[in-house]
Amino acid sequence: MRWKKRALALMLVLACLLPRRESVPAGGRATVEIGETPPTVAITFDDGPKASTTARLLDELALREVPATFFLVGREIADNEELVRRMAREGHQIGVHSYAHIRLTGLSRSDFDADVGRERAQLSSLLGEGEFWLRPPYGWADSTVQARAGAPIVMWSVDTEDWKYRDAGHIAGAVLGQVQDGDIILFHDIYDSSVDGAIQVVDALLARGYCFATVEQLLALKGIRAENGTVYRSARPEGIFKTWDFQ
């Protein structure tokens, strides 16, 4: 029984249309069994918060009860504190994308701490103590960034290149043509076309039977123990990097 309860608890954090098999014994109550874990992905958004686009994205995600992960730029937080509180309240994961959207490779220890530490302090004072996982700008990291990260490092396995195309249909098509179970999908919530594209992706994948989770939930669901400094491109074995050198 114990594993069943645990599976049920994990399922309940996911947003999706769960596959169910109902059986109704004669004269008895219907029981619902939950089948195999459906394919699950994490949608992630960098470079916000931005008042207009991020608020609209949160509205659309709330309508669908879909959780996401936001890697925030610290200097954008001060003018959007209520939006950040709302993200946390509505079950989204919040992470660090550097205070000033700078390259984290090649920094001195004090410059690294002045940037990443400054954003962590901002988030802690706004939301309370938390882990605040790291996504380095441009995906640039090396062994030094890994050693200093103080949290798991999240990259991506599906790149929408939404900053380049600015076209919702193109963005959605790029994801839907290649998405797989365990993917981490990269968007930027500072463009209207990215919000529209992301919502098209969510609706299409819900219709295909996919579930959505935050990155932290996705790794846990797949039995992966997240470790500080390890790079996660996806929640599949080939997406985990103890060493990473891309800059």
Q: Which stretch binds Zn ion (CB under 5 A): 33-41, 42-50, 166-174, 210-218?
A: 42-50
Q: Give, as ranges, the residues between 102 and 141 that touch Zn ion (CB under 5 A).
A: 137
Query: Quick one: 37 or 247, whose CB is closer to Zn ion?
Result: 247
What 3-state DSSP class applies to 243? coil
Cross-strand bridge partners of residue 231: 153, 241
CB of 139 to Zn ion, least distance (A): 9
Q: What is the DSSP letter of 227?
A: -
Q: Which of 40, 46, 50, 87 binds Zn ion (CB under 5 A)?
A: 46
CB of 150 to Zn ion, least distance (A): 19
Query: Quick one: 140 or 241, whose CB is closer to Zn ion?
Result: 140
Contact between 47 and Zn ion (CB under 5 A)?
yes
CA 94, CA 192: separation in Å to the nearest integer? 20
Query: Quick one: 92 or 97, whose CB is closer to Zn ion?
Result: 97
Give the interface size with Zn ion as a residue count (CB under 5 A): 3
Q: What is the DSSP letter of 238?
A: G
Query: Quick one: 47 or 216, whose CB is closer to Zn ion?
Result: 47
CB of 187 to Zn ion, least distance (A): 11
- Residues catalogued as catalytic: 46, 188
CB of 76 to Zn ion, least distance (A): 11
3-state secondary structure 143-203: HHHHHHCCCCEECCCEECCHHHHCCHHHHHHHHHCCCCCCEEEEEECCCHHHHHHHHHHHH
Angle, vertex CA 219, rays to CA 214 and CA 220, nearest 5: 95
Residue with the CB atom nearest Zn ion in the bound state: 46
The dihedral built from the CA positions of residue 102, 103, 107 and 112, taken in this order, carries a sign that is positive
The DSSP element (H or E) to which 33 belongs, if any, is strand 31-34
- Residues in CB range of 132: below 8 A, 6 or more apart: 94, 95, 96, 119, 120, 123, 124, 151
CA 181, CA 191: separation in Å to the nearest integer? 26
Query: Quick one: 16 or 141, whose CB is closer to Zn ion?
Result: 141
CB of 47 to Zn ion, least distance (A): 5
Burial class for 78, CB neighbours closer than 10 Å (0-12, 13-18, 19+): exposed
Contact between 76 and Zn ion (CB under 5 A)?
no
Binding interface with Zn ion (CB under 5 A)? 46-47, 137
